Every structure is written in C-alpha cells, then in structure tokens.
Amino acid sequence: MPEYKAPLRDTRFLIDEVFDFPASYAALGAVDATPDMVAAILEEGAKFCEQVLAPLNRSGDEEECQFDNGVVTTPKGFKEAFAQYGEGGWMSLAADPAYGGQGLPHSLGLLVSEMVGASNTSWGMYPGLTHGAMSAIHAHGSEEQKQTYLVRMTEGRWTGTMCLTEAHCGTDLGIIKTRAVPQADGSYAISGSKIFISAGEHDMSENIVHLVLAKLPDAPAGTRGISLFIVPKFLADASGEAGERNGVSCGSIEHKMGIKASATCVINFDGATGYLIGEVNKGLNCMFTMMNHARLGTGMQGLCLGEASFQGALKYANERLQMRALTGPKAPDKPADPIIVHPDVRRMLLTMKAFNEGNRALAYFTAQLLDQAHSADSAEQREEAEDLLALLTPICKAFMTDTGLEVTNLGMQVFGGHGYIREWGMEQLVRDCRIAPIYEGTNGIQALDLLGRKVLGSQGKLLRGFTRIVHKFCEVQAEHPQLKGYVAQLATLNQQWGELTQKIGLAAMKNPDEVGAASVDYLMYSGYVALAYFWLRMAVVAQQKLDAGSGDAAFYQAKLATCAFYFKRLLPRTAAHLAAAEAGSECMMSLPAEHFGL
C-alpha cells in the first residue's frame, strides 16, 4: 500500500494564499478558527489519518465486512479507530454547539474528511454518512429529535445512514414502495426493504440512526408523496439512550468491486417504529440537504483516491529502474534510470498532479461557499453562495470522480504489471474509486441536474454567476506578463461556455432530448473550464510569490509548471466535449431500441 502523507503544504497554499480562509472565517465570525487553531487541527487530523486509518486500508480490503445472521462485523481495527475518532472530537468539529458541537466552519470539516478519505475510503464511509444524517436532522428535525439523535451522533456514539434506494428504484424515487402507517402515538410503522445502504449495519457504534424515505398510505403518487423518517436500530429509552431493538434488520451485505470494508446492506423494516422528520410529503426536500452534503463528499472521494494514487505512483517512479532516458543516462551508476526520466511516465504523473491539485482548489472553493451559504451575514451573500454551490455541486461530484478514476487508473499504469497485483495497493484505489461516479446520483444524473435543473432551469442565471467571476478575473489578468496566453485561452472557453449553453437551450425548447444528449459532455466541458480558472488563480499567486522572492521557490515553480501542463495537455479536451455536446440528439435517438443489438 502506498504510504499516505497528508498534503498539508498544498492545503495551506489554498486556504492561506489563494482563497484566504482566515479572512473569510473572521468575516463569518468563526472566532475560534484562528490560523493557529486551523493549522493545529489539520496537523492532528493528518496524524490520525496517517497513523491510525491508513494502516487499516489494505487489511480492510482483504478482510471485508462479514455478515452472519443479521450481524455485520467490520474489519479488525475499524471499531477502535471510530472510538478514537469520536474521542478526538472529529465527529463534533463542525457541528452545532447547541448540540455538543465545536461550531467550527464546515469547510474545516471538509478538509479533515479529505484526509480521512485519502487514507481509508471504506472507513470514511461510516462517519461520512453520519455527518450527512446529522445535517439533515439539524436542518429539519424537531428539538427533541436533535437532543436525542444529533447529540449522540455528535459525540461519535451513534452513526447514521440514508435509506433511499429499493431494488426496483434508485434514481426514480417517485416509485418507492416502503410504507409508513401513522400510529396512535404519533409515530409511524415503517415497512419495506431498502438496498445499497452504506453503514446500514455494523459493530462500530451503540446505535444506528436510519433516515428512511417512505410513503404514507394516502400519499400522492410520485416524488410529491415521499416523507422522511428517523428509524433507529434501537429505540431510545426514557433517558434517551439506546434501548429496545426496533423492527429493523440487515438481510444481507453486498459483495462488491471495492470499498469492501464499507458495509453495503439490505435493510428490512418490518413495522419498525419511525418518527417523521420535517413535513409530510416533503421528504425529498429534507433528503436533499443530506444528498448535497453527500455529493460533495463523493466528489472528494475522487480527489482522495487520486491523491493516494499519486503518492504511490510518484514514489514508484523515482525508485523503479527501467531503461535509459532517450537523452542519455541519468543514473549512470545504476543498471537503468528511474522511470520518472521517461516523458510518458511524466505525462501520467503530471496528469494526476494537475487533476488532483485542480480538483482540490475546486473543492476548497466550494467548501468556502458552504460556509458562506450557512453563515454569511446578509441574505444576499447567502443566496449568492447558495447559487454558486448549486451550480458547482454536480460538477464537483461528477468531474472530480470521473477524473479521479482516470487518475487512479494512471497510478496503476505507472506501476506496470505490479499495479495489477493486490499487494501493491494501487488497484484497490481504482476499485474503491469506481463507485464514486455511480452512487449519490450517477454522473449522468449529475449532468442532467447541472444542465437541465441548474443552468437551463435558472435561464442561465446560475451559470452566469460563475462565468462572471471568471470573466472579471480574465479582465484583471489580461496583461499578466507570464500568464496572459493562458488567460486568453480561459476567456475564450468561458465565452464559449455561455454560447454552448444558449445553443443547447434553444434546441431544447424544441426537443427536450437535447438536454440529455448534451449533458455529460456539457458537464465535462464545464469542469475543465472551472479547473482552468482555479489553475490560473493558483498560478497568479505562485508567480506573485516568486516575484516577491519567496523562500519556497520550488513549490511555486512546480505550481506554474503543472499549470502549464494543464493548459497545454488537458484543457484541449474541451474541444472534444464541445463538439460532442453540440452534435445534437438525432444521432443518438434515431436508432430504434430493438435495433441496438443488431
């Protein structure tokens, strides 16, 4: 397994030098999040991830979760690590102080979750789902529900899940069959079977709080008839602690390609006691609070696994001796040169590096918006942040996971045949990453959300919120001595982005299939342009630091070199996505379904 080291230098570069988190924390009144405190938290988090979680990653994959008669046993060390996580206050970091939380900014929680996911993605699923459930209860739960559930989850003693999918429906939640029958005491009897429930059953916590989508007997058809319920594994007793077992059971766990140490469960509800959360028939709205959180988290998994893969590949490329450089031996005292001398190995490493660091910038920018959407002073600021967040969330989820999968595959490729062997750990990163473009809404669904719901659904308003930022940046930097060529490239693509949107929008007014035909390529185009913007923001800062004679010149030079690589070698992919997005639906819809097999 590649040894994981949290990339704290890059994190500090982004939060301190590019996005100025200290200033925004101060503006948001997050008085505890001083630069020193943030640095200390990140260093402690890094230590926990490097020393506790990373060593459990390979063994977790080999051991997998075990299922025996309804009981799920997680791999060795998982339970203890979770206890340590709770005791260390990691679960409460960004939680509301009114319910036992430390009240630190959400963005800081996301930075910590990046290190967790990079060191052990499977393990990270348990707290990850819990954080999501916490945010839904916090936003929509009653005071009593918060006192009972949120407080214990914040303490790291109870965990959470989200129960949406059923065997016959994942994307199409309007047709769920799980039923909720009102009881005399105000609770509901929940009956039905949910599948693909991550962390649905396990041995890591005292209780498991399921958030379950179900329909009331008289509910309207479709998504407007869905309600959300809290269904705990153990019912709370008089003191609020885990008491009597509820009618919830785990029917089986799935045998999967990857994230094998994350229990993916069939959860059966047999007249289980459930408590309505939020309003009747508004369950999907409540669940979206959780899903937006989960979508950012899933996007992060692409970055996490990409970072782990890069660290492994870079080490191997420096150590593995094979062939001589075409320009003459670079390590003449050795039987061959390290493979990092070969241009094509560098192409792979730089592609990984450019995606990882670009995706990290996108993620942190989005994390900063999350803070603002939660806590900015004015409604106007909050709305602006929410709009940008709405636009960027599907891009984060889909672009970061698709490119993350490319990155982990490249990391494997750098290892040659050894990459295919389990003990090296590189193929596990590919397998673990492969779920990210699928779950929390497939990347195809994200693309429809972006183009259909967010961009066209707002008549382009949400898109303009971002392209205007890019446009202003390009205006300011148009004459940048070293970077103006890239600035011009970005400005052109940014303008094209709007034109492409208009073109599809017009076509879609005549034929709604035009949206689905263009959506995935549109999303990928958007992601490449967004990353180009973030790469230039990083490059501008790096150049400033170099001009100012910074002591860390090599770091900033590496940033500039990677930015150049991104613009020259990766950004041209926009041309392919643009052409495909503009190609129209006819070449996809004309073939009758029954003729595909001919």
Catalytic positions: 440
Rounded Cα distance between 389 and 379, Å, is 15
First to last CA, the chain: 45
CA neighbor of 152 nearest in space, from 240, 230, 237, 83: 240
- Within positions 276 to 295, which residues make up the interface with a second copy, using CB under 8 A? none
Q: How far is the CB of 436 from a second copy (least distance, A)?
A: 10
Closer residue to a second copy in complex, CB, 104/529: 529
Q: Does 238 bind a second copy (CB under 8 A)?
A: no
- Within positions 243 to 262, which residues make up the interface with a second copy, using CB under 8 A? 254-258
Size of the residue set binding a second copy (CB under 8 A): 103
Q: Does 72 bind a second copy (CB under 8 A)?
A: no
Maximum Cα interatomic distance, the chain, rounded to a whole number of Å: 83
Closer residue to a second copy in complex, CB, 438/541: 438
Burial of 277 (0-12, 13-18, 19+ CB in 10 A): buried
Q: How far is the CB of 574 from a second copy (least distance, A)?
A: 8
Residue 570's identity, in one-letter code, is L
Q: How far is the CB of 333 from a second copy (least distance, A)?
A: 14
The piece of 95-103, 227-235, 531-539, 564-572 that touches a second copy (CB under 8 A) is 564-572
Q: How far is the CB of 185 from a second copy (least distance, A)?
A: 33
From the list 409, 467, 494, 501, which residue makes contact with a second copy (rule: CB under 8 A)?
Answer: 409
On whether the CB atoms of residues 406 and 304 are closer than 8 A, the answer is no
Element (H, E) at 242: strand 242-245
Q: Does 430 bind a second copy (CB under 8 A)?
A: yes
Q: Does 102 bind a second copy (CB under 8 A)?
A: no
Tell me which residue has tokens 């025996």.
68
Q: Does 413 bind a second copy (CB under 8 A)?
A: yes
Q: How far is the CB of 526 from a second copy (least distance, A)?
A: 15
- Within positions 504 to 543, which residues make up the interface with a second copy, using CB under 8 A? 511-513, 515-517, 519-520
Report residue 430 as tokens.
């590919």
Q: Does 499 bind a second copy (CB under 8 A)?
A: no
From the list 448, 463, 490, 493, which residue makes contact with a second copy (rule: CB under 8 A)?
Answer: 448
Q: How far is the CB of 460 from a second copy (least distance, A)?
A: 19
Q: Does 364 bind a second copy (CB under 8 A)?
A: no
Closer residue to a second copy in complex, CB, 391/426: 426
Q: Residue 23 CB: number of other CB atoms within 10 A?
A: 10
Q: How far is the CB of 521 from a second copy (least distance, A)?
A: 8
Helix runs in 477-550, H state only? 484-510, 513-547
Rounded Cα distance between 63 and 575, Å, is 45
Closer residue to a second copy in complex, CB, 184/587: 587
Closer residue to a second copy in complex, CB, 79/324: 324
Rounded Cα distance between 489 and 472, Å, is 14
Rounded Cα distance between 512 and 516, Å, is 8
Closer residue to a second copy in complex, CB, 369/508: 508
Report residue 165 as tokens.
């999918």
The piece of 51-59, 209-217, 390-398, 413-421 that touches a second copy (CB under 8 A) is 413-421
Backbone phi, psi, residue 236, to 5°: -70, 135
Tell me, residue by residue from 8 to 27, as one string, x for binding to a second copy by CB under 8 A and - for no binding: -x------------------
* Long-range contacts at 483-491 (CB < 8 A, ≥ 24 apart): 483/536, 483/539, 483/540, 483/543, 483/563, 486/532, 486/536, 486/539, 486/563, 486/564, 486/567, 487/536, 489/532, 489/567, 489/571, 490/529, 490/532, 490/533, 490/536
From the list 427, 463, 470, 493, which residue makes contact with a second copy (rule: CB under 8 A)?
Answer: 427
Q: Does 382 bind a second copy (CB under 8 A)?
A: no
Q: How far is the CB of 315 from a second copy (least distance, A)?
A: 8
Closer residue to a second copy in complex, CB, 165/381: 165
Closer residue to a second copy in complex, CB, 237/344: 344
Q: How far is the CB of 85 from a second copy (least distance, A)?
A: 26
Q: What angle do CA 376, 377, 381 make, to 5 degrees?
A: 60
The piece of 143-151, 365-373, 387-395, 414-422 that touches a second copy (CB under 8 A) is 414-422
Report residue 362 as tokens.
């996108």
Report residue 257 as tokens.
């390609």
CA neighbor of 408 nearest in space, from 270, 537, 302, 254: 302
Q: Does 61 bind a second copy (CB under 8 A)?
A: no
Q: Does 575 bind a second copy (CB under 8 A)?
A: yes
* Long-range contacts at 513-518 (CB < 8 A, ≥ 24 apart): 513/585, 513/588, 513/589, 514/584, 514/585, 515/448, 515/451, 515/452, 515/456, 516/448, 516/452, 516/585, 517/583, 517/584, 517/585, 517/588, 517/589, 518/451, 518/580, 518/581, 518/582, 518/585
On whether the CB atoms of residues 453 and 446 are closer than 8 A, the answer is no
Q: Does 216 bind a second copy (CB under 8 A)?
A: no
From the list 83, 280, 469, 561, which residue makes contact with a second copy (rule: CB under 8 A)?
Answer: 561
Q: Does 433 bind a second copy (CB under 8 A)?
A: no
From the list 171, 183, 459, 544, which residue makes contact with a second copy (rule: CB under 8 A)?
Answer: 171
- Within positions 300 to 359, which residues make up the interface with a second copy, using CB under 8 A? 311, 314, 318, 321-323, 325-327, 335-336, 338, 340-350, 353
- Within positions 172 to 201, which residues make up the interface with a second copy, using CB under 8 A? 172, 175, 195-196
Q: How far is the CB of 284 from a second copy (least distance, A)?
A: 14
